[in-house]
Amino acid sequence: MKYENLYKNLQQIIDKAFKSLLATDNKAADKPKEADGPVYDSLHPSYLNIQEYTKKTGKRFRMTKDQKLRGLSRQAAFKEFTNILRLEK
């Protein structure tokens, strides 16, 4: 076949890339997590309370219209918000 060497080379490159990616993921998974305090993920951070959210993000926590219509307190709305963040992980 005309492109047989090309296909073999591409397959080797792809295999090496996946092996290195999987090896990196396994090494990260083997590391123990810190037990003292929350663990923050840059994409899905977790916040203990509204004050911490404000301090870390520089933004005020705002309730949605739906949460206001349901009569939730700010604390209950924040808890709902943090649960949604955890589900996205």
Other CB atoms within a 10 A radius of the CB of residue 68 amount to 12
Other CB atoms within a 10 A radius of the CB of residue 45 amount to 15
Residue pointed to by tokens 């219509």: 69
| pLDDT at position 3 | 75
| pLDDT at position 89 | 52
- Positions of the chain with pLDDT under 70: 1, 24-45, 85-89
| pLDDT at position 20 | 78
pTM of the predicted model, to two decimals?
A: 0.47
| pLDDT at position 51 | 92
Under 8 Å between Cβ of 77 and 63: yes
